[in-house]
Amino acid sequence: MRAFLVDRYGRDSTLRAGKLPDPEIGDHDVLVRILAAGVNPLDAKIMAGEFKLFLPYKPPFVLGNDLAGIVERVGPGVQKVAPGDEVYARPDKERIGTFAELIAIDEGDLALKPAGLTMVEAASLPLVALTAWQALVEKANVRPGQKVLVHAGSGGVGTIAIQLAKHLGAYVATTTSTPNVEWVRDLGADLVVDYQKYDFAQLLRDVDVVLDPLGGENLDKSLRVLRPGGLAIGIGGPPDPDFARQLGKPLLGPVMALLSHKVRHAARGRGVRYSFLFMRANGDQLREITALVDAGAIRPVVDRIFDFDHTVAALDYVNSGRAKGKIVVTIA
C-alpha cells in the first residue's frame, strides 16, 4: 500500500512517500480502505517529537490521526461492522497511520459514518469532535446556563467545541482574528473576541470552563477569567500527573508534575483547576457525535481538500496557522 512515513523526529522532519505491506488484522480488528484522512496540528507535533516521551513511535512510522473509509475485511471476533460498511474513526494513539491506503483498527475505536456526510466531511470530525466531547462533556460536564470560553474558535477543535457547547446549553465566548469574527459568530458563539483588537482577560469574568489549545501566556491569562472552582482544560499542554496515570505510566508522574507545576500552582492560588487533555479513541463517543451530526447540532467545517499525493502540502498549510476548520486529504 502507499503511505506517508516519518523517518526521524525533529523540527525539520519531513514526510516521505513510500510503500508498505498491507496491514495484518487481529481477532477484533477491522481493515479499512481509507478514502479521506484529516490533517491536524497534532501530526506536526508528533513529527517534531513533542510527545515521544509517552508516545515513542519507532521510525519509520505512518503519520495521520483521522480517517473515513470502507471496511474491507474484519477479524473473526468483530460484531459491529461488516465488509462494505462506511466508517470513520480516530485510531488508538498506539496505532496511528491514516496517511495510507489501508489501516487495521480495533472495532471499538470506530463508528459508522454519519449517513448525510461525504467521506471528506466525515474524515474531518473524529479527532476534533472527540476532543471537544471529552473536554466539555466528560471532563467539564457542561450544563445549561454555564459560561464556556473556547479559544481559537476558527480552528479545528474550536469550530466543533463552539457548536457542542451551544448544544449543551452554555453561553459561549470565543477568540479569533479579525477576518474570522463574523464567520465564527455564525457557528453559534454568543461573544466573539477579536484578539487582534481586544484582550479577552479584560472582557470576560466568571467563566465556568475554558478550553485552551494554545498554552503559555494564553493559558495563564485564562486562569484569571475563571470563577472560583472553574476549570481550564489545556489541549496544547502542559501535561499533568493525572495524564501519567491515564497512560498507565506512573513513573512519568514526577516529570509531568514538573512540566505543569507553574500552571497548577497558579490555578490553586486563584481557587480554580487545571487539567490536561490528550484525547483518546472511543467508538462509543463517536456514535454519540454521529447522533448530533444527524440531528443537525454539529456540522463539519472543512477549509481545504488536498489530493493524497499532496499530503506534505496539506500538512504545511495546517502548520501555517491559516486554516479555518479542518484540512482533509483524499485517497483514490
pLDDT tens for each residue of 65-121: 999 999 999 999 999 999 999 999 999 999 999 999 999 999 999 999 999 999 999
Q: Are residues 249 and 264 in the same domain?
A: yes
Residue 236 has pLDDT above 90, yes or no: no
> Distance between CA atoms of 213 and 235, rounded to whole angstroms?
5
Q: Are residues 117 and 135 in the same domain?
A: no
Q: Examine residue 133 and state whether it is found in any structural domain, yes or no.
A: yes
Q: Examine residue 33 and state whether it is found in any structural domain, yes or no.
A: yes
Q: Examine residue 220 and state whether it is found in any structural domain, yes or no.
A: yes
pLDDT 10s digits, 115-156: 999 999 999 999 999 999 999 999 999 999 999 999 999 999
Q: Are residues 132 and 266 in the same domain?
A: yes
Amino acid at residue number 228: P
Q: Are residues 166 and 223 in the same domain?
A: yes
Structurally, how many domains does the chain consist of?
Answer: 2
C-alpha cell at 222: 485564562
pTM as predicted: 0.96
Q: Are residues 25 and 134 in the same domain?
A: no
Output the domain CATH number for residue 72.
Answer: 3.90.180.10
CB 105 within 8 A of CB 130: no
Residue 51 has pLDDT above 90, yes or no: no
Q: Examine residue 10 and state whether it is found in any structural domain, yes or no.
A: yes
Percent of the chain with pLDDT over 70: 100
Q: Are residues 261 and 313 in the same domain?
A: no
Q: Are residues 166 and 262 in the same domain?
A: yes
Q: Examine residue 32 and state whether it is found in any structural domain, yes or no.
A: yes
Q: Examine residue 285 and state whether it is found in any structural domain, yes or no.
A: no
Q: Are residues 226 and 214 in the same domain?
A: yes
Return the HEC string of the chain.
Answer: CEEEEECCCCCCCCEEEEECCCCCCCCCEEEEEEEEEEECHHHHHHHHCCCCCCCCCCCCEECCCCEEEEEEEECCCCCCCCCCCEEEECCCHHHCCCCECEEEEEHHHEEECCCCCCHHHHHCCHHHHHHHHHHHHHHCCCCCCCEEEECCCCCHHHHHHHHHHHHCCCEEEEEECHHHHHHHHCCCCCEEEECCCCCHHHHCCCEEEEEECCCHHHHHHHHHHEEEEEEEEECCCCCCHHHHHHHCCHHHHHHHHHHCHHHHHHHHHCCCEEEECCCCCCHHHHHHHHHHHHCCCCCCCEEEEEEHHHHHHHHHHHHCCCCCCEEEEECC
Domain range spanning residue 240?
127-276
Output the domain CATH number for residue 268.
Answer: 3.40.50.720
Q: Examine residue 281 and state whether it is found in any structural domain, yes or no.
A: no
Percent of the chain with pLDDT over 90: 90
With CA atoms as reference, report the closest residue to 169 among 186, 146, 187, 192.
146
Q: Are residues 198 and 70 in the same domain?
A: no
Q: What value does the mean pLDDT of the chain take?
A: 96
Q: Are residues 140 and 260 in the same domain?
A: yes
- The values of phi and psi at residue 326, to 5°, are -115, 155
Q: Are residues 264 and 138 in the same domain?
A: yes
CB 166 within 8 A of CB 147: no
Q: Examine residue 292 and state whether it is found in any structural domain, yes or no.
A: no
Q: Are residues 115 and 140 in the same domain?
A: no
Residue 274 has pLDDT above 90, yes or no: yes
